[in-house]
Amino acid sequence: MKWKKFKIKTTTEAEDIIISTLYDIGLEGAQIEDKVPLTALEKEQMFVDILPEGPADDGIAYLSFFVEEDEDGQLVMNGIPTDEEAILASVKEELDALRVFCDIGEGSITIDETEDIDWINNWKQYFKQFYVDDILIIPSWEEVKEEDKDKMIIHIDPGTAFGTGMHETTQLCIRQLRKYVTSETQLLDVGTGSGILSIIALKMGAKHAVGTDLDPCAVPAVEENKEVNGIDAEDFEMMIGNIIDDKEVQDRVGYEKYDIVVANILADVLVPLTPVIVNQMKPGGIYITSGIIDEKEETVTEAVKAAGLEIIEVTYQGEWVSVTARKQV
């Protein structure tokens, strides 16, 4: 499959209005390249695994739009045949109109042809094996080195929907699990994703894990990762649904049943989750949370205390926080 790439050089301030304007003429799915640092809120909402530090913002942005070519080389936009000249003319017309009341910077347009864009697999180049203390987390396409074969090895293929485990919040949870998992641990993993936390807990010796997630894609992701890590099907059960407000999910998960609940989500989800999830925890059960940007630490700790839990530890990595608490006996 081939694509025509229309790349516009503009300013960071004009990004949104250009994207919106060109969306109206049929160009969708803009790829944005700029050097604007993420805000704390954006980092929390993105919750990404791979986020390298970038250079200082220079105010310049590049917006790329991709238009598919059919087998005959005909450009097709929104199902309608078109051509390079027509698209270019429309884009120039819209940019010229924007210049009247908005600084769009250079506004130049370059056109390239890109063949066989592998949207699904491009992310793999950024996911390499890494360590969390003495645990090796490795994707299926990499080989385990001889010197690592005596480590705990976790094979994770997150796919495009879930994290890899590289994110600081996941690592914070892993370290807390190590402190509390025993051979009798019944674990509840809220926001399971790829299943990495439950799989690691089971490898640490936990007896059983139940995972919940809103995304149906978690089911095949977990099944694949269970299989590659040698986890017995009956040891890790997956449920789809919102445990915060879905009574059916709450009933299926069960009450006062779990020694550990781990929730690596977002602060704004942990606040309504916490007073609900205490009902699933055994007396004396441990509640491990993360996904908390440092600005939201107090918000989460207050919610945890309001739910009647005792905070026993707060740990940090980078800008991220993990709050661990215990349910009263």
Tokens in use for 207? 């007896």
Please check whether residue 306 is in contact with residue 277, taking contact to mean a CB–CB distance below 8 angstroms.
Answer: no
**What is the number of alpha carbons within 13 Å of residue 320 lying toward its C-beta?**
22
What dihedral do alpha carbons 164, 165, 168, 174 form, nearest 10°? 170
Q: 164: which residues sit within 8 A by CB, 6+ positions away?
A: 49, 50, 127, 137, 139, 156, 158, 194, 196
Q: Residue 12 is which amino acid?
A: T
In tens digits, the chain (329 residues) has pLDDT values of: 678 889 999 999 899 899 988 988 888 778 888 877 766 655 555 454 444 455 567 889 999 998 888 888 888 887 788 999 999 999 999 999 999 888 999 999 999 887 655 655 665 666 678 888 999 998 877 888 999 988 999 998 765 445 555 678 889 999 999 999 999 999 999 999 889 999 999 999 999 999 999 888 888 889 999 999 999 999 999 999 999 999 999 999 999 999 999 999 888 899 999 999 999 999 999 999 998 988 999 999 999 999 999 999 999 998 899 999 999 99
Burial of 121 (0-12, 13-18, 19+ CB in 10 A): exposed
pTM as predicted: 0.69
Alpha-carbon gap, residue 302 to 309, rounded angstroms? 10
Tokens in use for 159? 């796919």
